[in-house]
Chains A and B, each alone.
Chain A
Amino acid sequence: MSSTSLTTGRTWRPHLPRRHVPVLATLVLLLVTYGIGVSQYRAFSNIQVVFNVFIDNGFLLVVAVGMTFVILTGGIDLSVGSVVAMTAMVSAALLQDGLPPALVLVIALLIGPALGFLMGCAIHVFDIQPFIVTLAGMFFARGICTFISDASIPITDGFWTTMSQARIGNPAGNFVSISVLVAFAVVLVAAYVLAYTRFGRNVYAIGGNAQSALLMGLPVGRTRIAVYTVSGLCSAVGGILLSFYTLSGAPLIAVGMELDVIAAVVIGGAVLTGGSGYVFGTVLGVLVLGVIQTLITFDGSLNSWWTKIVIGGLLFAFILLQRLIGIRFT
């Protein structure tokens, strides 16, 4: 017996860590999809197509980042679509009442995290499944939307229209919106938090094995509550960005968006049971969805439901991939 036999007790491991395989698969998928677009349609190669994908999906990206935190702990947040709509709705209503935009922003950005915090507490304190708690949150937030108004409220505020129309571009005429910059900032901060803070590492630990995390003395409850709060905050930011994009608050906007978000996160390589995934993967997942959508728009002959069909197929393929590479080492 020697220590050498122990060091070789290690199971086979390729040069490529297995946990990176899903993210790389998504990257390849993205490149292939983009390549198809470029080869089929001349206009696709214009870099503005890529920028437009970001512009159209900036809010989705922000919400997906929040969802990544939740899914990394092994949870789920079904309330995000409704919270996005509620945030946009509240902003529109308050602006219509003549409140100053700065105050509206603060209020709108507090509601989402507050709801997320409450849901997190319910999940932790009463030990209820996240699915059902956030489902309740989803209905609640959607109800608030129609409670505020059952019709769409237009936004005419100067600050909002400025944010909506601002184009940050180069002399060649390519541009992105403010939303894209905000989304990038959120992505960077989130990636940093997950990689370099105790909170971020606890998120991974809980997703890996919550029982172990507890026995290792990690603040499991606090972290759980925090991820739903983070998701609520991201949804709120997403709601603001959506209201920049549409310049209105509509009670039935973003219905079913939570499912797109979950799909993006999973296609981005995160495992629904938690503990494995990256913000970078989520970015790729959102881009894949966006590029597919663009492709189908470019084609023109295809019904937009094809997007859903393709996403459905991809989602299934990725879950299968995760199962095959056995990302859960249990």
Chain B
Amino acid sequence: MTGSHPVLTMTGITKTFPGVRALHNVDFRLFPGEVHALMGENGAGKSTLIKVLTGVYDTDEGIITLAGEQVFLTGPMQAAAAGVSTVYQEVNLCTNLSVAENIFIGREPRRLGLIRWGEMRRRARDLLARLGLDIDVTAQLGTYSLAVQQMVAIARAIDVRARVLILDEPTSSLDAGEVAQLFRIMRQLRDERVAILFVTHFLDQVYGIADRITVLRNGSLVGEYRTAELPQLTLVEKMIGKELDVLERLDEQQKRNIAAPSDSTPLVEAAELGRKGGVTPFSLRIHAGEVVGLAGLLGSGRTEVARLLFGADRADHGQVRVDGGKASLRTPIQAIDRGIGFSPENRRAEGIVPELSVRENMILAMQAARGWLRPIPRRRQDELVEKYVKALRIRPANPDLPVRHLSGGNQQKVLLARWLITEPRLLILDEPTRGIDIGAKAEIQKLVVELSDGGMAVLFISAELEEVLRLSHRVAVMRDRTMVAQLDNDTTLDADRVMQTIASGTHREEVNRSTPSPSASAR
């Protein structure tokens, strides 16, 4: 790789969307015969960079060169013709067509304008054989597993003689064996001098296959590193953008280490609960009055855990017990019946109904729990709404205002009030403080403490470790869609230790151990 010229360079790429600078002066280069990981948290600009590279977006500023010549990419097809092929996270193929067709559609071998099916199937078989895949190319793609579909997508991508292959989170729905198969193909293509850009949330996979790593944060380039020279812990720091010692600056007085009543029957207990393509089976007990924090990088499976517990996704493994008895939580309604509330991460898309008033938004969940045939009397509505507007200090304190006029923090409070009105016994809060100002954040944190003191169990999901540590009795750590640890939040637990658990994962010993042990990474 050294000494050769990059097949692809991107220089000074800037891309602005209305109100958001998605990419700011980003440089990126890719050499033939390397696997290059593009890392960063959600919103760091990875997807935007890839869309620029595939011609889906044009740039405001910046130059892209392919094999030394400047190119202007105008669309996926043109980018593919120029040698840049992309395999997306979602398999972007047509499951109703045959395997062979999915590889060749748009460039089928033809004679006199008519498709030569025999020739197409033969070439499809040859191509898949090269990837070590022996499947019936005449069968519909939809009859195969996602992993096979992913391979077919790669076959389609490399048939256009790609010089650059972009794999945008190709592994997110694959199991370990399937990932190994994918890696085998990636190595083979690398040996054939294809330059591979690999995007993933899984740190293990990066250290398993990538030669170099480029880190983005908030739309800017953090740096380009050789994988072997970048310890995992440092990588996580660079992605999150905080020095660990800054994280240690915790308000120790607020730190809660009240021993949770762990001997009593847990309110909610998940036993080997899991879902293929979601989270690997995990066990978790949550007692009444306990706050359990859920820490991990974005995309590590935190939200998936919450959705399983709430019945928003259906578990295909394990079971849930409520009050020690087996409970069926297959739909949110069943979960609500059992006293579980869920305030989702994306409050705009999944929570708030912007056109409805504060009052209507607040009583939604309670109304749903009662059934639509038993309307809540207006006087009762007014009482409840008034109580929570006051208790949560929602501003402006006008229950008839459409929620869209409220600030993000106040919208979040309305969403909280919606669940508090139903008096849940377990409240799941997914990123309740993201994107709201400091004052509102502190109020919501205070509320969580008060609720748990009042006997409510809370599952608190947040990307901010300080917050998780300040509020939680226990911290469960997610990594690569697996719950890798549950740490008691006693005096010894600090952000450093949580961070190390996130970075290294205490459970996976088979991973690339070239990483220095966390304690050795002196700061």
Contact = CB atoms under 8 A, between A and B. Distances in A.
Interface stretch (B141-149, B240-248, B415-423, B488-496): B141-149
Given A197-B114, A204-B97, A10 B180 contact: no
Interface string B138-173: 011111110110010000100000000000000000
Interface in B57-105: 75-77, 80, 86, 88, 91-97, 101, 105
A17 interface: yes
B55 to A, nearest CB: 11
A113 B443 CA distance: 64
Given A7-B133, A7-B135, A212 B145 contact: no
B181 interface: yes
Among B91, B105, B115, B141, residue most surrounded by chain A Cβ atoms (within 10 Å): B105
B106 interface: yes
B108 A198 contact: yes
A1 B110 CA distance: 38
B230 to A, nearest CB: 27
Nearest to B117: A196
Contacts, number: 113
Contacts of A10: 135, 139, 143-145, 148
Interface stretch (A75-83, A213-221, A300-308): A213-221
Contact of B92 (A11, A212, A328): A212
Interface string B369-394: 00000000000000000000000000
A202 B86 CA distance: 20
Contact of A13 (B77, B108, B139, B147): B139
B400 interface: no
A5 interface: yes
Determine the main DSSP class of A at the interface with B: helix
A329 B97 CA distance: 11
Contacts of A204: 94, 96-97
Interface string A284-296: 0000000000000
Nearest to B141: A329
Contacts of A211: 92
Contacts of B96: 19, 204, 207-209, 275-276, 328-329
Given A9-B148, A197-B114, A329-B95, A1 B140 contact: no
Given A6-B133, A204-B94, A329 B143 contact: yes
Interface residues of A, number: 35
Interface in A1-60: 1, 3, 5-7, 9-11, 13, 17, 19
B449 to A, nearest CB: 44
A196 B181 contact: no
Contact of A5 (B92, B156, B177): B177
A216 B148 contact: no
Contacts of A215: 76, 86, 88, 92
Contacts of B135: 6-7, 10
B290 to A, nearest CB: 39
B324 interface: no
Given A213-B94, A215-B88, A329-B95, A3 B133 contact: yes
Contacts of A1: 177, 180-181
A70 interface: no
B132 interface: yes
Interface in A187-210: 195-198, 201-202, 204-205, 207-209
Nearest to A199: B113
A145 B177 CA distance: 65
Nearest to B156: A216
Contacts of B113: 197
Nearest to A12: B143
Given A6-B148, A197-B115, A205 B105 contact: yes
A330 interface: yes
Contact of A11 (B93, B110, B145, B156): B145
A274 to B, nearest CB: 8
B97 A205 contact: yes
Contacts of B106: 198, 202, 216-218
Contacts of B108: 198, 201
A216 to B, nearest CB: 6
Contacts of B88: 215
B122 to A, nearest CB: 17
Given A17-B140, A211-B92, A217 B134 contact: no
A19 B140 contact: yes
B345 interface: no
Contacts of B94: 204-205, 208-209, 212-213, 216, 275
A197 B116 CA distance: 10
B422 to A, nearest CB: 33
A9 B141 CA distance: 12
A196 B117 CA distance: 8
Given A202-B105, A205-B105, A329-B142, A217 B181 contact: no
Nearest to A13: B143
Contact of A217 (B77, B132, B142): B77
A150 to B, nearest CB: 46
Nearest to B131: A3
B302 to A, nearest CB: 26
A248 B114 CA distance: 40
A195 to B, nearest CB: 8
Contacts of B313: none
Nearest to B160: A217
Contacts of A329: 95-96, 140-143
A216 B178 CA distance: 24
A196 B145 CA distance: 28
A9 B147 contact: yes
B176 to A, nearest CB: 8
A111 B86 CA distance: 43
A268 B144 CA distance: 26
A3 B92 contact: no
Please name the 10 residue pairs, one residue from A and one from B, whose CB atoms are nearest each other, closest first: A329-B142, A217-B77, A208-B94, A208-B96, A9-B145, A275-B96, A212-B92, A1-B180, A196-B114, A215-B92
Given A6-B135, A198-B110, A212-B92, 4 more contacts: A6-B145, A10-B144, A198-B106, A330-B95
9 contacts: A6-B133, A6-B135, A17-B140, A201-B101, A201-B115, A208-B94, A209-B96, A213-B94, A329-B96
Interface of B: 75-77, 80, 86, 88, 91-97, 101, 105-106, 108, 110, 113-115, 117, 132-135, 139-145, 147-148, 151, 156, 177-178, 180-181
